[in-house]
Structure 1
Amino acid sequence: MSLLFYITISLFWGWITAHFAQKKGLNPRNWYIAGVLFCALAFIMVLFQRKETLKIPDPVHKPELVPIYLSQREYLWYYLNEAGQQFGPVNFQALTRAWENKKIQEESYLWNEDLEDWKRFKEVLQITTPKI
């Protein structure tokens, strides 16, 4: 058979190997080269590869809680959960963790010694994202 036929077959194996590699989340360029050089052997290797799951990275800029009056950061806080149970006293860091764990929402009530009465979360604290 002619050399052109062998080159065509090798290019086909490269293309089909790269196609299946891309479906499995692998680098198609590397597998194309392997498919051209090793033909069916590279294709079989791709078939036995596990599908790579895409990992979604954590957001770079996580939202933060900031008290409207910065002096309130030093106080001990109390909060009511959705069932009306009172929790506290907790420091501001523990209050932030409770918000991150969704134990308190924007409609939850908060109190500290600087406040006259229980106030809604959104009246006392702001949710901000750091600027780049």
Structure 2
Amino acid sequence: MTLLFYITISLFWGWITALFAQKKGLNPRNWYIAGILFCALAFIAVLFQRKKNLKIPNPVHKPELIPIDPPQRENLWYYLDEKGQQFGPISFQALTIAWKNKKIQGESYVWNEDLENWKKFKEVLKITTPKI
């Protein structure tokens, strides 16, 4: 009965130690074994471990803004914000930055000298995401 009790307690401490180790970004399997062998001592050791910084890599392929008519890339652009205030003239690169900063949405109106009237952003420009 004493041996069964010790095994149960060891498995419990192994499980608790592995759980806390996983939350801190440590290898839970190794800490599970340490928890079984050293019980509360391994658990205390995990508590004093620093949390590893789990870095999520930035996506390699970011969306790009492309004019439907490629020569329009060289034009100066104007756009209207949600309040109807006009901005411009700006380069295509500045227009792209405004889009990335969410100053321009798909329903925003844009214009350049090749367009007869103001058109919705999504009608004149397309967003592409390079395939991986």
TM-score class, shorter: 0.7 to 0.9
1:77 — aligned with what?
Answer: 77
Aligned to 1:47: 47
- Counterpart of 2:98 in structure 1: which amino acid? A
Q: Distance in 2 between matches of 1:111 and 1:74?
A: 13
In 1: Cα distance, 2:120 partner to 2:19 partner: 55
Q: Deviations over 1:100-132 (max 9, x none)?
A: 111011111111111122111111001111112
Aligned to 2:126: 126
Listed one character per residue, the Cα deviations across residues 64-102 of structure 1 (whole Å, up to 9, x for unaligned) are 211001111111111111111111111111101111111
Please state if 1:21 is matched with 2:51. Answer: no
Paired position in structure 2 for 1:114: 114
In 1: Cα distance, 2:81 partner to 2:23 partner? 46
Q: Percent identity?
A: 79
* In structure 2, distance between residues paired with 1:81 and 1:11: 62
Instruction: Give TM-score scaled by structure 1 length.
Output: 0.79
Q: Which moved more, 1:53-62 or 1:116-125?
A: 53-62
Give distance in 2, aligned partners of 1:49 and 1:71.
58
Name the counterpart of 2:96: 96
Unmatched 5+ residue regions in structure 2?
none
Secondary structure of the structure 1 residue equivalent to 2:126: strand
Q: Which whole-Å CA distance do the structure 1 matches of 2:21 and 2:82 have between them?
A: 49
Which range moves more in the overlay, 43-52 or 26-35?
43-52
| Deviation, structure 1 residue 41 | 1.2
2:35 pairs with 1:31:
no
Q: Name the count of aligned residue pairs.
A: 130
SS of alignment partner, residue 114 of structure 1? coil
SS of the residue 2:87 aligns to: strand
